[in-house]
Chains A and B, each alone.
Chain A
Amino acid sequence: GAGVSQTPSNKVTEKGKYVELRCDPISGHTALYWYRQSLGQGPEFLIYFQGTGAADDSGLPNDRFFAVRPEGSVSTLKIQRTERGDSAVYLCASSPGDSGGPFDTQYFGPGTRLTVL
């Protein structure tokens, strides 16, 4: 079946601009996660949705970052007033959310590479 998809695959923007990154999770998955990965590092947790609500947004670096999931499926990560330090790959993952076992296996998308000039 279809996996997690993310659009765009690449986004180049200028410092100070607003960007939106989209994630389409696997159909039926109730849990959705956003991570950020800098060059040479592992992914870092940003936010976790269970259904439509953000269950944990403790990883968002500051109030310029915001994410929504209005219908419990597609999610959008929004970054205001982008800075050069925001440049990274933004990864989205989804999981069944049924906690049937440890680490309710997360399925990752290919990521969106954001470059802020």
Chain B
Amino acid sequence: LAKTTQPISMDSYEGQEVNITCSHNNIATNDYITWYQQFPSQGPRFIIQGYKTKVTNEVASLFIPADRKSSTLSLPRVSLSDTAVYYCLVGGFNDYKLSFGAGTTVTVRA
């Protein structure tokens, strides 16, 4: 699995947009980028996945530049309930051993 680097923590305020950038310089051609979210005392939860360009769902957007060496998770108009740890993972088919790293702790303040 490709190694990823993301910030340890980020602070934000309610209503703001939060952007978390993940570096994955050694991403392979067949690799996808997946983000999980983990609230305190809960297991991680899948939020979004993409291969290139932009992916959007009801929770977040994922921006992937052409070289795919990084990606940015965008959380629009965050609320207090978005306070969580966000993990960036990179891997391909049959990469069932999810490698989480330490993630980015996002703290949203009122």
- Chain A interfacial positions (CB closer than 8 Å to B): 4, 31, 33, 35, 40-45, 48, 56, 59, 91-93, 95, 99, 101-111
Contact = CB atoms under 8 A, between A and B. Distances in A.
Contacts, number: 70
Nearest to B101: A42
Nearest to B42: A110
From B31, B32, B44, B93, name the one whose CB has the most chain A CB atoms within 10 angstroms. B44
B100 A43 contact: yes
B72 interface: no
B58 to A, nearest CB: 16
Interface stretch (B12-20, B61-69, B84-92): B84-92
Given A40-B102, A102-B34, A102-B92, A45 B43 contact: no
B93 A102 contact: yes
Contacts of B34: 102-103
